[in-house]
Amino acid sequence: MSDVIAQIAGLLLQARRSLLIGHMDPDGDVIGAVLGLREALRRLGKEAVPALPDRPPSKYAFLPGFAELTTAPAGSFDLFVSLDSSDTARLEPIYSTVIAPAGRPVINIDHHVTNVMFGTLNWVDPKAASTSEMIISLVDALDVPMEREIALPLLTGIVMDTRGFRTSNTTSDTLRAASRLMDAGASLGEVMERALNSRPYAMLCLWGKMLSTVRLEGRIAWAVLTPAMQAECGNPEEGDGGFINLLVSLQEADVGLLFYDKGDHAVEVGFRAKPGIDISGVAFALGGGGHPQAAGCTVEGSLEEVRARVLDMVRRAIDGQRALYR
Ligand code: 5GP
Ligand code: MN
C-alpha cells in the first residue's frame, strides 16, 4: 500500500498542472479530500485545479479553497487525480470532455469496495472510513507539514462520511486521524456545527413531505422524493439531507431505501443497511456502487417498476443476512 502512495506522490511532484476531481452530487468527504490535497500541493508551489461535476452545497464555504472549486475546468492538464469516485460515470461530464481526451495518467484514490479500478494508478482502500482519511497519508508522503488549512477540510470529510464517528466502519485509526487533524488546528466543534449539524429550514419542509411517503415492508423501510416536492419546499440543496439515515435507524428495519423519482423515466436509489447487512452488491449490480452499509445507483423505469425491482433484489440479497445488533 505504501508503495502506491509513494508513486502517487512522485507523479504529483512531477506534474506541471494537475486536475483534482471528485464525484457528482458532492458530499463532505469528496469536497474535503479535493480541498485538503489541493492545499497540500499549494504549499509545494504546485498548481492543482480543484473541480467537481456539480456545485457543492454552500454550507461548505467555510473550507479553505472552497471559492476555487470549479465545475468547468479550463486549460490543459498533465495529470488527473480522481477522489472518492468508484467509476468514471460519477465524474461526468468532466470525464468525457476533459479527462479522457487528454490521454494523460489518471490516479484513482478511493475507499469504495465497488471501485472498478479505472485509473492508471489505483489506490483503493475499502477499510478506510473516508477518502479524506487516506489523504493524510498522501500529505505525509509529499512531506508537507499538517496545518490547519489542510486539516480542516480533511476533518470535515472524516466527520461527514462517518456521520460524526457513528458508522460501523469508524475505527481507532479514524479517531487517531481525527485527533491528529485537531492537533494541527482543525476545530471538531466547528466542523460538527457547520457541516454535520446544519440544514436549511427548507430541508425540514422536505422531510415533512418525505415522512408522509414512508412505508415499512418486512425488513425494508422506504420513502419517495420527487422534484415537485423539492420545488414546493424551495429547492433546498443536498438531496434528501440525510433523511435516508432516519429510515435505517428504525428498529423494525434492516435496510432503508430512498427513491428519487427524477421524472425522466429514471429513478435514483439510495441504500442504507444496518451493520452486518451488505447492500453494496445490489447497487453495483444495478450499475451503481458504494459501501456495504451505504450505496446508490440510478435505474431506468417508472417509480413503480423500479421500486418493485429494487425491493425484490434487496429482499433476496438480505435473505440469510442478519444485522449485528438487533
Ligand atoms: P448517498 O446515498 O449518500 O448519495 O450515497 C451513498 C454512497 O453510495 C456514497 O458512498 C456514494 O458515493 C455511493 N453512490 C451513490 N449513488 C451512486 C451511484 O449512482 N453510483 C455509484 N457508483 N455510487 C453511488
Ligand atoms: Mn467517501
Structural domains of the chain, with CATH: 3-196 (3.90.1640.10), 201-324 (3.10.310.30)
Task: Note the ligand closest to the C-alpha atom of 225.
Answer: 1
CA distance 169 to 305: 33
Q: Residue 127 corresponds to which cell in the numbers above?
A: 477499510
**pLDDT for the residue numbered 61:** 98
- On the question of a cis peptide bond just before residue 26, with omega within 30 degrees of 0, the verdict is no
**pLDDT for the residue numbered 1:** 53
Q: Residue 13 corresponds to which cell in the numbers above?
A: 511532484
Note residues around ion ligand 2 (Cβ under 5 angstroms).
29, 84, 131, 161
**pLDDT for the residue numbered 326:** 87
> If you measure from the C-alpha of residue 309 to the centroid of ligand 2, how many angstroms do you get, rounded to a whole number?
27
Which among 52, 90, 196 is the best mutation to test ligand 1's pocket, defined by most ligand atoms within 8 Å of the CB?
A: 90
CA distance 297 to 213: 20
**pLDDT for the residue numbered 78:** 97
CA distance 39 to 41: 5
Cross-strand partners of 256: 221, 272
CA distance 225 to 260: 5
**pLDDT for the residue numbered 169:** 95
Handedness of CA 17, 4, 64, 67 (dihedral sign): positive
**pLDDT for the residue numbered 2:** 82
What residue ranges of the chain have pLDDT lower than 70? 1
Q: Convert the pLDDT of each residue in 270-288 to its tens digit.
A: 999 999 999 999 999 999 9
Atom of ligand 1 nearest to the CA of 288: 20
